[in-house]
Amino acid sequence: MTGPHAGKAGRKTAKEIGVKGAWTLKARGPAKILVGCVYRAESEWADKSILSEKKDRPAEHLAVCEHGVAVGASTRRVAIERAKQSEHWCEKCKARVAAL
């Protein structure tokens, strides 16, 4: 598997972010919630059973919010889509958005 999330370039990005396997981290949405995306195989979730968005196979990538809640994704694109919608999969993010 190659790409900006893997190999030497991926490890450099993860080191800059400070999270194993991470390839992006941003404050997202009106509540400015920190949500990142990680390449699961190189992350602390590598041994965990997390399925991709269709629940038909293990997740290649994960979106992870600042509360430590993770959801699976099959591709980088899907991971970013899910990262932008953390209020739909994390109760604490939902509360933050509701409180605005």
Q: Per CB under 5 A, does 59 bind Zn ion?
A: no
Q: 3-state DSSP call for residue 74?
A: coil
The most distant pair of C-alpha atoms in the chain lies apart, rounded to whole Å, by: 41
- Taking CB under 5 A as the binding criterion, the range among 18-26, 45-53, 70-78, 82-90 that sits at the site for Zn ion is 82-90
DSSP letter for 68, please.
Answer: S
Cβ 89 to Zn ion shortest distance, Å: 8
Q: Per CB under 5 A, does 92 bind Zn ion?
A: yes
Q: Per CB under 5 A, does 67 bind Zn ion?
A: yes
Cβ 68 to Zn ion shortest distance, Å: 8
Strand partners, 73: 61
Nearer to Zn ion, 67 or 76 (CB): 67
